[in-house]
Amino acid sequence: MTRNHPPASSNNKPARPRGRDLPHTQCARCPLRANPNLRKFSAAELEFVQRFKIAEIEVQAGRVILRDGERAPHLYTVLDGWAIRYKFAGEGRRQVLNFALKGDLIGLQSALFDKMHQTVEALTDVRLCVFDRKRMFELYREHPGLAYDLTWLAAQEKTILGEHLVNIGQRPAIGRLAYIILFLFDRARRAGLTSSNTLEMPITQEDLADAMGLSIVHTNKTLRRMHALGLIEWRRNRLTILDIEQLSHLAEIESVTAQQRPFI
């Protein structure tokens, strides 16, 4: 676990978007649309989403995008970059809940409950599509397909968190690690961020440890052990999967299922 997180460390400053808003680009030419894993919009939906979208912003690596307990004015979709979702648990302990990659929605909790129940922080510089929270009900009223998608995305998060709960609650360190590695690799693959069996990512061993509920030291030792077994390679920001069979076996999972998922 993370010890000694400075309570108000420099990477906990409020999200001040790096600059002036970027040009309000066309949703029809949204780069996410190229991803075959993401579902297509109808013309009417596309037109609505275009109006729903307020701006595009860029958030610097290390900045907080949304903070636990605060009310966010907007809803975001990640266009590019990596973010991390976590909660603090008194005295510098941190639990990582998930990661956000391109295509992921951020801030739904705030839109529904009037405040966030987790913090979302940029791991790299992140480009975000900004949506107008106040139009949420219009979305529900006029575009049942999009409304359904929002439910779908929320339920998807819930399923993922359930699996993480199994991971942390029931598996030994090596199994947890195997699971997380496969999880990350699969998510990245769907987002088109992998090349064959390697993945470039901004995740530190500390992030990994906090996601697994293990100490950094033990995470490191487990990582080395896994390397010694010839299952992976983990060099600063670069993960290579060497034996997916063995990893799946350690994680006690069969395989990962594919499906076209929605986004906004």
Partner DNA sequence: CGGATTCTTGAGGTACCTCAAGTGCGGTGG
Partner DNA sequence: CCACCGCACTTGAGGTACCTCAAGAATCCG
Residues in contact with a copy of itself by CB under 8 A are 1, 87, 89-90, 93-95, 97, 108-109, 112-113, 117-118, 137, 140-141, 144-145, 147-148, 150-152, 154-159, 161-166, 168-171, 210, 212-213, 252, 259
Helices (H), strands (E): how many in the chain?
8, 12
- Residue closer to DNA by CB (options 173, 251) is 173
Nearer to a copy of itself, 57 or 146 (CB): 146
Contacts with 149 (C-beta within 8 Å, 6 or more apart), sequence order = 39, 262, 263, 264
Q: How far apart are CA 26 and CA 129, in angstroms?
A: 11
From the list 96, 111, 98, 58, the residue with the least C-alpha distance to 80 is 58
Is position 84 an interface residue for DNA (rule: CB under 7 A)?
Answer: no
Is 7 one of the binding residues for DNA (CB under 7 A)? no
Residues 215-234 that bind DNA (CB under 7 A): 215-224, 234
Q: How far is the CB of 168 from a copy of itself (least distance, A)?
A: 5
Q: Which is nearer to a copy of itself, 44 or 89 (CB)?
A: 89
Q: Which stretch binds DNA (CB under 7 A): 100-108, 111-119, 207-215, 244-252?
A: 207-215
Using DSSP's 3-state secondary structure scheme, residue 234 falls into strand
Q: Select from DNA, a copy of itself, none the partner in contact with residue 256, using the beta carbon and a kind-dependent cut-off of 5 to 8 Å.
A: none
Q: What is the dihedral of CA 14, 10, 105, 157, to 10 degrees?
A: -120
The residues, ordered by sequence, that sit 6+ positions from 112 with a Cβ below 8 Å of its Cβ are none
Please, what is the minimum distance in Å from the beta carbon of residue 218 to a copy of itself?
13
Residue 148: C-alpha distances to residues 41, 142, 257 (Å)? 13, 12, 21
Using CB under 7 A as the criterion, which residues of the chain lie in contact with DNA when the complex forms?
1, 3, 10, 172-174, 204-206, 213-224, 234, 236
